[in-house]
Chains A and B, each alone.
Chain A
Amino acid sequence: MTEPRDLLELAEVSKVYGDLRALDEVSLSVPRGQWLSIVGPSGSGKTTLMNIVGAMDRASSGSVLLDGVELSGMSPKELAQIRRDTVGLIFQKFHLIGHLTALENVMVAQYYHSMPDEPEALAALDRVGLRERAAHLPSQLSGGEQQRVCIARALINYPALILADEPTGNLDAANEQIVLDIFRTLHSEGATLIVVTHDPDVAAEGQREVALDHGRMVREVFHVHP
């Protein structure tokens, strides 16, 4: 059986909270290997879209097809299975577990996915340049280092889709470049990336940029990189 060309297909997806339409009939396809940037002001529906694509929330209506699997109507347990198998999450605030070392934070993702493998987790940290900091607690790491641990954790299970929510939002310029370099490498290796950002420069790093406003897609731009 051949994989569908598009990793993600949204068809007329809406999310309604009471009277508020956080997403209003959004349709979007993301081919495998694409780096998609999502931009928009606060309250435009970016986070709601991320939650639905990342199997953390369900759409009120419409269809969400991720890696050939329809997410609408899935039970919480089935959605948890999708999250552990298909999605790698990178957060603005890193969200590392404070009492676990960098290495253990990466192994937690392995634990929920299949089985913890310390050498493999060390290799993931090595990939983001943090092998030497593996035994450090998050409180002993800089913001940039914590974000790199977060990226290593997101990559450890080889997810089909990497979702990043403002990944450089809490970083200085130097660390922002380090993170973007990692993303470029991942993209060059064929990873599918969806990055939500306020930063136009970060958004411009993607191949494609989609702008949301009031829950609707209002603009779509393709960037050509040499």
Chain B
Amino acid sequence: MANDVGARAGTVARRARRAMFWRMVARSVTRRRSRVLIAVLAVGIGATTLFALASIAIDIPRQMTREMRAYGANLLVMPQDGDSAVPVAALAGIDHLLEAAEVVGRAPYRYETLRLNQAPYLTAGTDLGAVRKVSPYWYVEGDWPGGPGEVLIGQDIAEWADLGAGDQIELVAGALGGPAASADAGLGGQAGSDGGDQPQDVIEEEATGLFAVAGVLTTGGTEDELILMALGDLENLAGGAGEYDVVEYSVAADSAQIEELAGRISAQVQGVAAAPVKRLTESDDYVLSMLRSLLALIAVIVLVLTMIGVSTTMMAVVAERQGEIALRKALGANVREVEREFLSEGLALGAVGGILGTGLGYLLAQVISLNVFHRSVGMTWWLAVVSVAVSTLVAWVAALVPVRRAAEVDPATVLRGE
């Protein structure tokens, strides 16, 4: 019975002490506003910068892989060994496998050799709208073809044939036999240039079409030796339908994801083989890893500077309260009690600064992302929790040394009036 009463009294005393402890911490934080503001600001600036950097670093792969799709297709689908074309039916299967991925564009190509002024040129029939999405970096002098009967010609062809936007050209199909007349998958140069052994003079059935040159294409690559037209125009001229030599995909994903997708397409879709364009996917990864390393380095520097700033602020705040610490000790507080009170204040300041800083950091990340990537950055909640936790920890660590030093103050300084 007496034990019960004693235990209850002990519990009441502990609760009353705990309530007073937090009351003192709260009063110190809420009633010393100007001083608290400086400490919160020191923590908050660090939290703002760190959260903004981390948000961008985490969001960069999503942002940059999308941005890097401006450099052309990163996944090619070709006929499987032995097959001459990608069947149209295979595209549905590929689309199904790419459902989860962000496909920026898909451009199917059929290649035929057509003659212009008796000279054979490799001609691609494609979906020109899709090509613009897959390869937005292509430069066209003049206009993109607006409808049937219009073509793009590569810059080299324009020079060789002395053509420009607005000119009319006559293209002839089915003129020459032999292997040079049907291009394999991939972009070649002037068709027939390496087919010197083949018979060049076997004229079978000719089909002729008149086309307007809408624009001259410059890519700096093999496309400069190509004629591009709508797939329908090529099918009308050269005959045949429903088969592609190659299908180019632009997918917003990193190199590992592209490799994995290519493997799945090759394994699961009959009649096709898929391969990543390594030159692009690997350079994407390299740029991303460089950016991430740079951001990590900046984050570490900011963290160190924040630690220094918060430590200095805490030192000033604690030094200012040296008299109060001495008084508390004169009233009977021991070193540990003083440390606990002041470090708890440090934690409270860190948490407040961390919450405010994280909020501002999100806004900063938005501003940076909107200005650099032209799209908003998502709120990463787990990162927000980490940001507040790190800010609180930084404030606590920063307060540790000055508080420990201050807690050793001689209580007699109170009587000396210091």
Binding site for B on A (CB under 8 A): 47, 50-51, 54, 56-57, 76-77, 80-81, 83-85, 89, 91-93, 95, 97-100, 104, 107-117, 137, 153, 165
**Can you list 25 contacts pairing A with B, beta carbon distance less than 8 Å?**
A51-B412, A54-B415, A56-B414, A57-B410, A84-B332, A89-B331, A91-B415, A93-B417, A95-B323, A95-B327, A104-B27, A108-B20, A108-B24, A108-B328, A109-B331, A111-B20, A111-B24, A112-B331, A112-B332, A112-B333, A113-B332, A115-B17, A116-B17, A116-B20, A153-B331
Closest B residue, CB atoms, query A169: B417
Q: What 0/1 readout, one digit per residue, does chain B (175-192) give for beta carbons within 8 Å of chain A?
A: 000000000000000000
Q: Are B16 and A115 in contact (CB under 8 A)?
A: yes
Q: Are A80 and B334 also in contact (CB < 8 A) when A115-B13, A116-B16 are?
A: yes
The interface residues of chain B, by DSSP majority, are classed as helix
List 10 A-B pairs, minimum CB-CB distance, nearest first: A84-B332, A99-B31, A115-B13, A112-B332, A116-B20, A56-B412, A51-B412, A115-B16, A80-B334, A83-B332
Instruction: Tell me which of A99, A114, A116 contacts B27 (CB under 8 A).
Output: A99
Q: What 0/1 readout, one digit per residue, does chain B (20-32) give for beta carbons within 8 Å of chain A?
A: 1101100110011
Q: Are B416 and A47 in contact (CB under 8 A)?
A: yes
Q: Are B327 and A97 in contact (CB under 8 A)?
A: yes
Q: Are A76 and B334 in contact (CB under 8 A)?
A: yes
A92 — which chain B residues lie within 8 A by C-beta?
417
Bound CA–CA A65/B189 (angstroms): 108
CB distance from A175 to the nearest CB of B (A): 19
Q: Are B27 and A112 in contact (CB under 8 A)?
A: no
Q: Are A80 and B16 also in contact (CB < 8 A) when A47-B415, A95-B327 are?
A: no
Q: Are A100 and B332 also in contact (CB < 8 A) when A83-B411, A115-B17 are?
A: no
Closest B residue, CB atoms, query A86: B332
Interface residues of B in 3-58 (CB under 8 A from A): 12-13, 16-17, 19-21, 23-24, 27-28, 31-32
Q: B235 interface residue, CB < 8 Å from A?
A: no
Bound CA–CA A112/B335 (angstroms): 12
Q: Are B335 and A56 in contact (CB under 8 A)?
A: no
CB distance from B413 to the nearest CB of A (A): 9
B327 — which chain A residues lie within 8 A by C-beta?
95, 97
Instruction: Tell me which of A81, A99, A107, A165 contacts B20 (CB under 8 A).
Output: A107
Bound CA–CA A85/B337 (angstroms): 16
CB distance from B15 to the nearest CB of A (A): 9
Q: B324 interface residue, CB < 8 Å from A?
A: yes
Q: Interface size for chain B: under 10, 10 to 19, 20 to 34, or 35 or more residues? A: 20 to 34
Q: Are B415 and A56 in contact (CB under 8 A)?
A: yes
Contacts between chains A and B (CB distance < 8 A), count: 90
Q: B329 interface residue, CB < 8 Å from A?
A: yes
B415 — which chain A residues lie within 8 A by C-beta?
47, 50-51, 54, 56, 89, 91, 165
Instruction: Tell me which of A80, A93, A114 contacts B333 (CB under 8 A).
Output: A80
Residue of A89, A104, A113, A153 most packed against chain B (CB within 10 A): A89
Interface residues of B in 320-356 (CB under 8 A from A): 323-324, 327-335, 337
Instruction: Tell me which of B28, B333, B416 contacts A99 (CB under 8 A).
Output: B28
A81 — which chain B residues lie within 8 A by C-beta?
332
Bound CA–CA A153/B31 (angstroms): 21
Q: Are A95 and B20 in contact (CB under 8 A)?
A: no
Q: Are B17 and A97 in contact (CB under 8 A)?
A: no
Q: Are A104 and B412 also in contact (CB < 8 A) when A99-B31, A115-B12, A115-B13 are?
A: no
Instruction: Tell me which of B31, B324, B329 contacts A80 (CB under 8 A).
Output: B329
Bound CA–CA A56/B27 (angstroms): 27
CB distance from A140 to the nearest CB of B (A): 12
A54 — which chain B residues lie within 8 A by C-beta?
330, 415
Bound CA–CA A84/B329 (angstroms): 9
Q: Are B24 and A104 in contact (CB under 8 A)?
A: yes
Bound CA–CA A77/B323 (angstroms): 19
Bound CA–CA A114/B331 (angstroms): 12
CB distance from B329 to the nearest CB of A (A): 7
Bound CA–CA A204/B343 (angstroms): 46
Closest A residue, CB atoms, query B33: A99
Closest A residue, CB atoms, query B36: A99
Closest A residue, CB atoms, query B30: A99
Bound CA–CA A108/B28 (angstroms): 13
CB distance from A67 to the nearest CB of B (A): 15
Bound CA–CA A111/B12 (angstroms): 13
Q: Are A56 and B332 also in contact (CB < 8 A) when A93-B417, A111-B21 are?
A: no
Q: Are B24 and A91 in contact (CB under 8 A)?
A: no
Interface residues of B in 373-418 (CB under 8 A from A): 410-412, 414-417
Instruction: Tell me which of A47, A77, A83 contacts B331 (CB under 8 A).
Output: A83
Q: Are A56 and B330 also in contact (CB < 8 A) when A47-B415, A51-B412 are?
A: yes
Q: What 0/1 readout, one digit per residue, does chain B (243-279) give for beta carbons within 8 Å of chain A?
A: 0000000000000000000000000000000000000
Bound CA–CA A115/B337 (angstroms): 14
Q: Are B332 and A97 in contact (CB under 8 A)?
A: no
A56 — which chain B residues lie within 8 A by C-beta?
330, 410-412, 414-415
Residue of A54, A77, A104, A115 most packed against chain B (CB within 10 A): A115
CB distance from A219 to the nearest CB of B (A): 23
Q: Are A85 and B332 in contact (CB under 8 A)?
A: yes
A108 — which chain B residues lie within 8 A by C-beta?
20, 24, 328, 331
Closest A residue, CB atoms, query B335: A76
Q: Are A100 and B331 also in contact (CB < 8 A) when A50-B415, A115-B12 are?
A: no
Q: Are A89 and B330 in contact (CB under 8 A)?
A: yes
Q: Are B20 and A100 in contact (CB under 8 A)?
A: no
B20 — which chain A residues lie within 8 A by C-beta?
107-108, 110-111, 116
A165 — which chain B residues lie within 8 A by C-beta?
415
